[in-house]
A and B are shown apart, each in its own frame.
Chain A
């Protein structure tokens, strides 16, 4: 820490004051920017979430909004007109996070372990190939997926070439849930499902919809996210693997540990901080999924690909009915959800238990 580093060569108070002035001066420009455009907005969002401002009436006009207390949160979370919007977006987002984060972490770890093997040739090539998608814009990647997964696109073409009887899946416009489709294989559809599933509603969304999983369109966005991110995660894991001193492995080998034992009992626990980092990054990123939804959205899939982050934008800048107050409340709620999720995973991954994948 800085307090230890300044082992003052000059002890008089004048020099100390000068150092303090330099310190404040040096940090001031960056701090001003962070304060005005990162910290202050946090409070502004909190404040506006307690108002009924619609964004139309100029803030300079007299009484542009009223303070309405927690009414927006009530509208959103408890029983108001927008609960189904919010919980639908939350359901989609949670499925998205739960699908993407473990998958990308596991794939990245497997790839890193293989790339780290001594016998591997072409390490640089593989690392470059895996990392390359991470440098492209999320918008470009969405464009590419728009093309790849279109009805007549290469993905459907490739599947048809492998399985001649394949019926084209409209990856980007199919609203059916994955789990719904899976049940469908056994003849269980919304019509034949037990009544308590289709009749019971929680926050105006039927139980059947709650459990029917991410839509095919959302699933395509999940594939996109995994495809883009595994490279970065792999590079992080690889660096951590290369940081494990070889004598640790040698000692274990002398003790007669098998490769699998070494991996489970030594490598994985030593990678725990890295796993924590990778999962935290993954959680923060995926809970805010926005760009891809913005690009791949379609009138048909509006509901089934709606994420909480996109709902914030959509509520705030809706052309016919903008609601800044409500959107702020949505954003604050998402902030709290991300915060809680990060802490929870810290207890899960960062705890004393060994990491078993």
Chain B
């Protein structure tokens, strides 16, 4: 730690210095090796899932590693229903002849998946809209408006953030049952229509913007409500985008809440719940259905992720810095 050590290390004369010199030279190689290895582990499962979702069942279990599709589309069952495509007929080394059989079966006639997808969109969009309105209103009140109980309510919201979801499982089920909201869209919207995280996110944002503009508008005679919707909300676009993304992603993938709120009526399922139906039980799994369902569930989120990637990463960083 002395000032003398530095030039020595830079010159690489002492044993210690030589070690660090060496270490600095190879560190990038080790670094790249680690990153590439982890990236490989993180990406490969998705590539294999996507590839295998276009295979017939026997080929999925026998040759899961073949991942390059050819242009030669095939069918798993011959038109007369007699012959089935064997694994060896579909796969050739790393190549395979793709089929849409799995997709046809989960999207075709009598299939539930389109309904589940529609439900998922409804749940995710409605909850997102409600949270954008309710969370920003509440966040604004906590950040800007002076009223008795303001500080107390802030701590209440903070406390709500720490309630683990498992504790809510049974009481929510019972309350919705008593209210007659079990397995209804409104049950879902109401239960999840506001959240502590979103309120705190918005509060934090409103505290970071100068209040002169809205005060000017307010003094000019606009009401609080008009000021909020005309002046304040448009300024809050970055925070609203982050909140919208978090909320949409959370509901698109929500399993536990959906299981409780709409879990006893298949026509009300969202995609994650629906996937459990496709999975069935035990180890006798129809992989073509399961994988096709997984791909359909993931694609919309993936598109949103790649379009709004910046906001995802910024949002996570932002919420992380709070803690």
- Nearest-CB distance from A159 to chain B (Å)? 12
User: CB-nearest residue of chain A relative to B134?
Assistant: A30
- Nearest-CB distance from B247 to chain A (Å)? 13
Q: Are A338 and B164 in contact (CB under 8 A)?
A: yes
| Residues of B close to A152: CB separation below 8 A | 61-62, 64
Number of CB contacts from chain A to chain B under 8 A:
342
A277→B144 CA distance, assembly (Å):
27
The proximity string for A residues 121-145 relative to B, scoring 1 for CB distances below 8 Å and 0 otherwise, is 0000111111111011111100111
Q: Which of B287, B312, B322 meets A135, CB within 8 Å?
A: B312
Q: Are B168 and A138 in contact (CB under 8 A)?
A: no
Q: B90-141: which residues lie under 8 A (CB-CB) from chain A?
A: 133-135, 137-138, 140-141
Q: Which of A16, A36, A126, A143 meets B39, CB within 8 Å?
A: A126
| Residues of A close to B24: CB separation below 8 A | 259
Q: Are B194 and A33 in contact (CB under 8 A)?
A: yes
Q: Are B42 and A227 in contact (CB under 8 A)?
A: yes
The proximity string for A residues 15-30 relative to B, scoring 1 for CB distances below 8 Å and 0 otherwise, is 0101111111011011
A24→B149 CA distance, assembly (Å):
9
- Nearest-CB distance from A3 to chain B (Å)? 6
Q: Which of B4, B39, B164 meets A334, CB within 8 Å?
A: B164
The listed residue with most B CB atoms (<10 A of its CB), out of A45, A238, A339, is: A45
Q: Are A148 and B48 in contact (CB under 8 A)?
A: yes
Q: Are A5 and B144 in contact (CB under 8 A)?
A: yes
The proximity string for B residues 279-317 relative to A, scoring 1 for CB distances below 8 Å and 0 otherwise, is 100110101001101100110011001000100110011
**A100: CB under 8 A from chain B?**
no
Q: Are A38 and B298 in contact (CB under 8 A)?
A: no
Given contacts A26-B137, A144-B49, A328-B170, contact A256 B35 (CB under 8 A): no
Given contacts A37-B172, A235-B320, contact A135 B20 (CB under 8 A): no
**A48: CB under 8 A from chain B?**
yes
| Residues of A close to B320: CB separation below 8 A | 235-236, 239-240, 274, 277-278
Q: Which of the four size classes fits the interface of chain B?
A: 35 or more
Q: Are B20 and A258 in contact (CB under 8 A)?
A: yes
- Nearest-CB distance from B136 to chain A (Å)? 9
A140→B143 CA distance, assembly (Å):
38
Q: Which of B215, B228, B272, B297 meets A9, CB within 8 Å?
A: B215
| Residues of B close to A139: CB separation below 8 A | 253, 255, 272, 275-276, 297
**A63: CB under 8 A from chain B?**
no
**A72: CB under 8 A from chain B?**
no
Q: Which of A5, A37, A148, A157 meets B191, CB within 8 Å?
A: A37
28 contacts between A and B (CB under 8 A): A1-B154, A2-B141, A2-B151, A16-B146, A24-B141, A24-B147, A42-B171, A45-B170, A59-B174, A114-B35, A120-B35, A126-B39, A129-B43, A136-B253, A137-B255, A137-B298, A138-B255, A139-B255, A139-B297, A140-B253, A143-B294, A147-B52, A147-B290, A235-B317, A273-B323, A281-B323, A299-B282, A309-B166
Task: Known pairs A18-B224, A22-B225, A136-B297; list 10 more (Cβ under 8 Å).
Answer: A2-B142, A23-B145, A27-B141, A31-B153, A37-B168, A38-B168, A45-B167, A136-B253, A256-B4, A312-B166
* Interchain residue pairs A-B with the least CB separation, the first 5: A277-B323, A239-B317, A23-B147, A236-B320, A41-B171
